[in-house]
């Protein structure tokens, strides 16, 4: 097999022909669905005449083809494994094709497939070519009218984008529905759903007075799990009107939940299709985290109606245009309706762990890549989350009002068009008058910038000199880096007063909390009239996606932890303090020296636990230690065992020293009011559960009693799952065995709860877990065909059980590559995602490097999908 070839951004050309209107008819059958397409085509005005017509198409069996009503001869066209080419076509014409496809055999879950008997589609990015021959690219936008024919019994519900315009019965128990979508759209936004679904209905009146019907379609047994998603949708619709002036543009908005889905959800016009995990909630089955995730994803997909659908991407290299902007929008939405500092802490903690790792690994790429082999591999944390960070910086640079004017301009100017990242940034520049040319480098340069900072207080002149130097490490294909425009939000906290000092820079006041701009490789900022020696609080609220190094002493960090006015940096000071202590302990573990706990960390925690606060959510975050993955990110060479041992040592030392304080926190936050996913309740639960984790770290008798009680009380899934995890993860496996068994039996019928049951078991840090993973893969409820199950079992093991995945006998690596090889045949997208932990081999010791590389080589020797090939080839390059 020849290696798959990359596509290059600079090769972009407008399509030779565009589609003005698309008519589709689906006659559904599991192994022989017939798809008739009537495409109204015309030459693109920017392209010369006489070019061949090239349509993409994969795994399609052509049954008929006609041009302007004339059947074509087999000599008039060529079909290969990529599509259909017709050498000669007129300037305007109608092309009719009929193809046969087999939805029930589609295990890749791209195109038209069946999930639990329900027909559904996933077309982004290039799934539509598995449905019919078409110019499958986002810059071809057409209106669609679609007729779906199905079985009255097994597919009573027939859904598509837009508005329902006709329906009726046919012979042999069949029926049909016709839908029209008046908004021109690229085919990646096409969707079809057919099956036995039930709906929950609600309404929303838009600011312009349009009455919109909202429908959530689910399998009957899930009707009681839709309330939160519907409420989230209505909140998102109102928020987008108030915040961005964006109104919904059809009379109907539908969400459908399916069990088998490659990612979270999909923003198809008027018919969003969701992974059931991203939409269904019930207090007894979903945790607080799941509730928050549902809220965020429902909003994200809804927001795409403007940022993505009305204005879409010219080509897939521009993916971050819609994803970065939409993630930024959903982050702001969640921050507005919950707690802004906590949302920022959680997003930044995740970002600094996972995106930084991606940016430092072999698949590092710019937010706007220059080339790809398989676009599906580019739905990454860099495109999504770093893209959102860059939009956030833009927003902070120009200020909200100019940002909003720029956003209005962008939506007005480009409505109904497929555009580029420049088009977006240009609108922001135009609306604000700012020169954003250097800023654009964020889109082309991969890798995480690092800032080395140091500062000095000049007592005689009352000045503070702060020097910032930036560097971005080389990434694959980008050895040299240029200086970026990095906004650093900061304060100077007076060591005597404990308050933010007014900052004066170059004669201008920056206020007590301001932004300095690092645009050069290095710059010294001289703050004048600084009345007392300060500790700088830098990169407040994570104002740029960079690593910032400042030689803080532990006293400085304890001081910031107590006094920083920025909630995010107060949290970060605690994380930095813990990391310094962890560094010592990791070294001690490696050198076989006795571990000694830094009492400053204990005292800092004591203060946190005993000082009253009205922000319990932030407190809960502050009491959580950096994750093993984040600690690993900070180490030059990752020693998984030392990291685990050091972190456990800190947890236990804190628990021993502050046992009574943790107990008090637990007891003071045990409210038993009826469950609601409200911020105050969520904050109390997470605070209580953090405390319980510490108590269980030392298997405290009272803590254990509370843990059992919490599990048995069965009040809500957040508490039940937390308690069950602590019991199962305790060193005495017997503690959780019976609870685990009962939990599995009780929830055998609920796939989303069973996912949690699998995850709890495979994330157990004790040594025998690989055998457990293998055993669970034979469990009747496990299936490689269900992406959620694969992620819950294999994905969770490889990413969240670091000590076992990296076991020195290589069994963890072998297990993962076995699954990747098998899954490569069934679902290349999921298989390619699953390889990730193996691709990070450079970070480990030589023995592990060799073992990981050997598994990558083993995978590479297989006949591979382009998806897995691209990831593995990069990892071994």
Residues taking part in catalysis = 301
Would you say 267 or 564 has its CB closer to ligand B3K? Answer: 267
Q: Which residue's beta carbon is nearest to the bound ligand B3K?
A: 124
Name residue, tokens 């500790």.
535
Nearer to Zn ion, 219 or 301 (CB): 301
Q: In the stretch 329-368, what mask flags binding to ligand B3K with x, by CB under 6 A?
A: ----------------------------------------
Q: How far is the CB of 208 from Zn ion (least distance, A)?
A: 25
- Candidate ranges 261-269, 577-585, 593-601, 751-759; the one touching ligand B3K (CB under 6 A): 261-269
Read off the tokens for 343.
């949302």
Could you tell me the smallest distance in angstroms from the CB atom of residue 829 to ligand B3K? 6
Q: Which does 379 bind (CB under 5 to 8 A by kind): ligand B3K, Zn ion, none?
A: ligand B3K
Binding of ligand B3K by 125 (CB under 6 A): yes
323 belongs to the binding site for ligand B3K (CB under 6 A): yes
Return the closest-CA partner of residue 704 out of 695, 713, 714, 694: 695
Contact flag: residue 266 with ligand B3K (CB under 6 A): yes
Q: How many whole angstroms separate alpha carbon 516 and alpha carbon 479?
A: 28
Is 124 a residue that touches ligand B3K (CB under 6 A)? yes
For the four alpha carbons of 454, 582, 660 and 764, in that order, the dihedral sign comes to: positive
CB 366 within 8 A of CB 445: yes
**Contact (CB, 8 A) for 852 and 844:** yes
* Contact partner, 801, from Zn ion, ligand B3K, none, Cβ < 5-8 Å per class: none
Determine the Cα–Cα distance for residues 771 and 657; give it in Å rounded to an integer: 36
Q: Give the helix, strand, coil percentages of the chain, each rounded to 5.
A: 45, 25, 30
Nearer to Zn ion, 283 or 387 (CB): 387
Residue 546 touches which of Zn ion, ligand B3K, none (Cβ within 5-8 Å per kind)? none
Residue 301 in contact with ligand B3K, rule: CB under 6 A:
yes
Per-residue tokens: 611: 């000082």
Question: If binding is defined by CB under 6 A, does position 475 make contact with ligand B3K?
Answer: no
Q: Tokens 């022909």, residue? A: 17
User: Count residues contacting Zn ion (CB under 5 A)?
Assistant: 2
Judged by beta carbon, residue 304 or residue 644, the one nearer ligand B3K is 304
b/e map 299-327, b = 16+ CB within 10 Å: bbbbbbbbbbbbbbbbbbbbbbbbbbbbb
Q: What is the DSSP letter of 844?
A: B
**Piece of the chain touching ligand B3K by CB under 6 A; list 259-267, 385-393, 514-522, 601-609:** 259-267
Q: Report whether 20 contacts 142 (CB < 8 A).
A: yes
Under rule CB under 6 A, residue 376 binds ligand B3K: yes
For residues 248-263, one letter each, b for 16 or more C-beta atoms within 10 angstroms of the residue's C-beta and e for the rest, the string is: bbbebbbbbbbbbbbb
Number of residues that bind ligand B3K (CB under 6 A): 14
> Chain centroid to CA 779: how far?
29
d(CA 790, CA 461): 63
Contact (CB, 8 A) for 122 and 109: yes
Considering only residues 379, 411, 414, 782, which one is a binding residue for ligand B3K as defined by CB under 6 A?
379
- Which residue number, 101 or 319, has a Cβ lying nearer to ligand B3K? 319
Question: Of 27 and 139, which CB lies nearer to ligand B3K in the complex structure?
Answer: 139
Output the smallest distance, CB 63 to Zn ion, in A: 35
Cβ 291 to Zn ion shortest distance, Å = 20
- Pairing type for strands 418-419 and 534-538 reads unpaired
Q: Which does 101 bind (CB under 5 to 8 A by kind): ligand B3K, Zn ion, none?
A: none
Which pairs from 662-669 meet CB under 8 Å and 24+ separation? Answer: 662/609, 662/691, 662/694, 662/695, 662/703, 663/691, 663/695, 663/700, 663/702, 663/703, 664/609, 665/609, 665/690, 665/691, 666/691, 666/692, 666/695, 666/703, 666/706, 669/616
If one asks whether residue 300 binds ligand B3K (CB under 6 A), the answer comes out as yes
Q: How far is the CB of 421 from ligand B3K (least distance, A)?
A: 16
Residue of 230, 263, 277, 762 that binds ligand B3K (CB under 6 A):
263
Output 38 or 59, the one with its CB closest to ligand B3K.
59
Lay out the site mask for Zn ion across 316-355 (x = CB under 5 A, - = otherwise): -------x--x-----------------------------
Minimum separation from the CB atom of position 330 to Zn ion (A): 8
Check residue 267 for interaction with ligand B3K (CB under 6 A): yes
Please name the residues in contact with 782: beta carbons below 8 A apart, sequence gap of 6 or more: 758, 776, 789, 793
State how far the alpha carbon of 674 is from the alpha carbons of 636, 671, 710, 715, 727, in Å.
48, 9, 15, 8, 25
Residues that bind ligand B3K (CB under 6 A): 124-125, 262-263, 265-267, 300-301, 304, 323, 376, 379, 829
């Amino acid at each position: 097999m020849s290696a798959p070839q990359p596509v290059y951004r600079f090769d972009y050309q407008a399509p030779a022909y565009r589609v003005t209107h698309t008519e589709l008819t689906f006659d559904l059958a599991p192994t022989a669905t017939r798809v008739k397409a009537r495409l109204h085509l015309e030459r693109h005005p920017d392209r010369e005449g006489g070019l061949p017509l090239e349509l993409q198409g994969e795994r399609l069996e052509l049954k008929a083809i006609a041009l302007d009503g004339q059947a074509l001869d087999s000599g008039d066209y060529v079909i290969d494994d990529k599509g259909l080419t017709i050498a000669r076509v007129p300037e305007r014409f109608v092309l009719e094709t009929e193809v046969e496809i087999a939805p029930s055999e589609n295990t890749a879950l791209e195109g038209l497939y069946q999930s639990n008997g329900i027909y559904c589609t996933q077309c982004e990015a290039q799934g539509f070519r598995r449905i019919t021959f078409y110019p499958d690219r986002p810059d071809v936008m057409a209106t669609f009218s679609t007729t779906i024919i199905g079985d009255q019994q097994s597919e009573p519900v027939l859904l598509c984008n837009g508005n329902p315009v006709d329906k009726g019965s046919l012979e042999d128990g069949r029926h049909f529905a016709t839908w029209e979508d008046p908004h021109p759209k690229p085919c990646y936004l096409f969707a079809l759903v057919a099956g036995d679904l039930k709906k929950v209905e609600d309404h929303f009146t838009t600011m312009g007075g349009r009455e919109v019907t909202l429908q959530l379609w689910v399998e009957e047994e899930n009707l009681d799990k839709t309330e939160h998603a519907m409420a989230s949708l209505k909140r998102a619709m109102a928020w987008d009107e108030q915040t961005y002036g964006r109104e919904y543009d059809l009379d109907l908005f539908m969400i459908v939940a399916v069990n088998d889905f490659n990612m979270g959800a999909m923003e198809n016009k008027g018919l969003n299709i969701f992974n059931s995990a991203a939409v269904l909630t019930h207090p007894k089955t979903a945790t607080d985290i799941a509730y928050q995730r549902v809220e965020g994803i429902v909003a994200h997909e809804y927001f795409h109606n403007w940022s993505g659908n009305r204005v879409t991407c010219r080509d897939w290299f521009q993916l971050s245009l819609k994803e970065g902007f939409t993630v930024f929008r959903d982050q702001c939405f969640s921050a507005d309706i919950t707690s802004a500092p906590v949302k920022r802490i959680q997003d930044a903690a995740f970002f600094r762990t996972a995106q930084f790792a991606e940016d430092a690994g072999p698949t590092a790429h710019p937010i706007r890549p220059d080339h790809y082999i398989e676009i599906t591999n580019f739905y990454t944390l860099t495109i999504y989350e770093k893209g959102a960070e860059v939009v956030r910086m833009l927003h902070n640079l120009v200020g909200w009002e100019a940002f909003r004017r720029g956003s209005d301009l962008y939506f007005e100017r480009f409505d109904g068009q497929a555009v580029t990242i420049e088009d977006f940034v240009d609108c922001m520049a135009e609306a604000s008058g700012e020169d954003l040319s250097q800023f654009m480098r964020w889109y082309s340069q991969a890798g995480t910038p690092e800032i080395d900072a140091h500062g000095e207080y000049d007592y005689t002149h009352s000045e503070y000199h702060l020097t910032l130097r930036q560097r971005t490490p080389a990434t694959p294909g980008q050895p040299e880096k240029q200086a970026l425009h990095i906004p650093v939000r900061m304060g100077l906290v007076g060591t005597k007063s404990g308050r933010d000092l007014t900052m004066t820079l170059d004669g201008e006041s920056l206020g007590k909390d301001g932004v300095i701009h690092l645009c050069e490789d290095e710059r010294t900022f001289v703050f004048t009239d600084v009345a007392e020696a300060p500790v700088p609080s830098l990169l407040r609220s994570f104002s740029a996606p960079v690593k910032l190094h400042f030689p803080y002493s532990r006293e400085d960090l304890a001081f910031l932890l107590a006094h920083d006015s920025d909630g995010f940096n107060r949290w970060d000071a605690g994380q930095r303090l813990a990391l310094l202590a962890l560094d010592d302990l990791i070294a001690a573990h490696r050198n076989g020296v006795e571990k000694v706990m830094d009492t400053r960390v204990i005292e800092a925690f004591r203060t946190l636990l005993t000082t009253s606060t009205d922000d319990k959510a932030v407190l809960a975050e502050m009491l959580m230690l950096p994750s093993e993955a984040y600690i690993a990110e900070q180490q030059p060479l990752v020693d998984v065992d030392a990291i685990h041992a050091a972190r456990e040592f800190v947890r236990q030392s804190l628990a021993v020293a502050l046992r009574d304080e943790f107990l008090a926190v637990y007891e003071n936050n045990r409210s038993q009011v009826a469950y609601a996913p409200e911020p105050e309740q969520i904050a109390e639960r997470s605070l209580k559960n953090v405390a319980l984790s510490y108590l269980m770290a030392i298997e405290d008798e009272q803590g254990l009693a509370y843990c059992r009680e919490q599990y048995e009380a069965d009040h809500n899934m957040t508490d039940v799952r937390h308690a069950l995890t602590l019991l199962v993860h305790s060193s005495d496996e017997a503690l959780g065995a019976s609870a685990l068994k009962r939990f599995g039996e009780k929830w055998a019928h609920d796939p989303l709860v069973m996912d949690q049951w699998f995850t709890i078991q495979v994330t157990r840090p004790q040594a025998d877990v690989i055998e457990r993973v293998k055993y669970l893969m034979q469990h009747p409820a496990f299936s490689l065909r269900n992406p959620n199950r694969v992620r819950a079992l294999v994905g969770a093991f490889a990413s969240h059980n670091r000590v076992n995945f990296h076991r020195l006998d290589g069994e963890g690596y072998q297990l993962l590559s076995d699954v990747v090889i098998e899954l490569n045949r069934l679902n290349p997208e999921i298989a390619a995602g699953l390889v990730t932990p193996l691709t990070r081999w450079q970070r480990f010791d030589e023995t592990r490097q060799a073992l990981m590389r050997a598994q990558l080589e083993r995978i590479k020797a297989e006949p591979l999908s382009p998806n897995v090939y691209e990831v593995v080839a990069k990892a071994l390059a």
